[in-house]
């Protein structure tokens, strides 16, 4: 005989895995902490798994919970879509937390504008930004993230990828840097100082080095850092030659840095938006995608 299951447990499980906290889930579902604890107990019994376990002062999901997270989220979203079909979307009544994977530069440049827009249209929506991870981490497929914004390198074939704009790299140095005293040629760029690059994988070379090598030139790269915002502060306080995307030159200039064209044929950087198709029928997710597009996509450069 098949055991009957309260489908409300799926909603509770979805919120518990999102909050990773009994107290946080209780607030979201308007329950008392003891009631939420009893619900977690019922979920554990139904799944035959602890679901959330204590790790110091926090709770973390078990491997089984991580394995079913995306499926649970998809079922809950499909149910929402069924009951909201034909009904006008009330964004002000929405209570959701969305996780966006993006490099720190996106949050630095667009976080304030995005949060302001969301607060005005859907004040019950919360955003959680996660830094970019190593390539091929299946965060969208697993349900760990709802959106990814940036240089999308996912290999999951089902993931939707939409290009937002094409960017290109510029050089950046502190004001008064010796490199700025004359025309910046490929040789002067390569030999005009020590270089700093940005790589989340810790690489010390890239497309610029390939372009220089084609001209018989090489630069002296002495360090790499994981994010562009941190690199700009290093460049500001040193004689290192750094890099910044054209779309984010305003951040460099706000720090008093000087941005210049790199005299090399460099590939463009495709900045995109990616999400899993399980979110296609979710009207709130669709609204969030529209907000990100309109805030992040630059005007005419």
Same domain, 259 and 205: yes
> Dihedral (C-alpha) 208, 211, 212, 213: value to the nearest 10 degrees?
120
For range 55-84, the mean pLDDT: 79
Domain range for 242 is: 169-267
Same domain, 175 and 256: yes
Same domain, 275 and 160: yes
Residue 106 clears pLDDT 90, i.e. is over it: no
Same domain, 111 and 68: no
Same domain, 142 and 280: yes
pLDDT: which is higher, 2 or 81: 81
Residue 181 clears pLDDT 90, i.e. is over it: yes
Gap between the Cα atoms of 274 and 280, Å rounded: 12
Same domain, 226 and 283: no
Same domain, 16 and 81: yes
Tell me which of 87, 109, 130 is where a domain ends. Answer: 87
Same domain, 150 and 287: yes
Quick check: 235 and 173 in contact, CB under 8 A? Answer: yes
Q: Give the global pTM.
A: 0.72
* CATH code of the domain covering residue 51: 1.10.10.10
In the block, residue with structure tokens 């919120």: 15
- Specify the number of domains making up the chain: 3
In this prediction, what percent of the chain has a pLDDT beyond 90? 50
| Interval 220-257: pLDDT, tens | 999 999 889 999 999 999 999 999 999 889 999 999 99
Sheet (strand 147-150) strand order: 125-130, 96-102, 147-150, 269-275, 160-167
Gap between the Cα atoms of 260 and 172, Å rounded: 6
* CATH code of the domain covering residue 274: 3.40.190.10
Q: How confident is the model at residue 272 (pLDDT cuts 50, 70, 90)?
A: very high
Residue 173 clears pLDDT 90, i.e. is over it: yes
| Interval 135-162: pLDDT, tens | 556 778 777 889 999 888 766 778 899 9
């Amino acid at each position: 005989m098949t055991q009957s299951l309260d489908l409300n447990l799926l909603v509770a499980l979805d919120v518990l895995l999102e909050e990773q906290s009994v107290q946080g889930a209780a607030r979201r579902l308007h329950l008392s902490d003891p009631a939420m604890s009893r619900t977690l107990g019922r979920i554990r019994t139904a799944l035959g798994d602890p679901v959330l376990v204590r790790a110091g002062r926090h709770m973390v999901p078990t491997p089984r919970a991580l394995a079913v997270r995306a499926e649970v989220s998809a079922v809950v979203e499909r149910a929402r879509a069924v009951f909201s079909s034909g009904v006008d979307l009330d964004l002000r009544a929405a209570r959701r937390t969305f996780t966006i994977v993006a490099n720190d530069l996106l949050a630095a440049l667009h976080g304030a504008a995005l949060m302001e827009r969301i607060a005005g249209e859907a004040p019950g929506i919360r955003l959680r930004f996660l830094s970019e991870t190593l390539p091929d981490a299946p965060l969208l497929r697993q349900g760990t993230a709802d959106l990814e914004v940036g240089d999308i390198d996912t290999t999951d074939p089902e993931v939707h990828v939409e290009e937002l704009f094409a960017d290109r790299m510029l050089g950046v140095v502190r004001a008064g840097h010796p490199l700025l005293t004359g025309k910046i040629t490929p040789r002067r760029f390569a030999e005009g100082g020590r270089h700093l690059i940005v790589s989340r994988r810790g690489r010390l070379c890239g497309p610029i080095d390939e372009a220089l090598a084609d001209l018989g030139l090489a630069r002296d790269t002495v360090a790499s850092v994981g994010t562009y915002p941190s690199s700009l502060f290093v460049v500001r306080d040193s004689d290192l030659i750094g890099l910044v995307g054209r779309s984010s030159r305003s951040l460099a200039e706000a720090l008093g840095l000087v941005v210049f064209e790199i005299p090399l044929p460099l590939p463009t950087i495709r900045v995109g938006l990616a999400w899993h198709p399980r979110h296609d029928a979710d009207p709130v997710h669709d609204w969030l995608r529209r907000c990100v597009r309109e805030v992040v996509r630059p005007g005419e450069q």
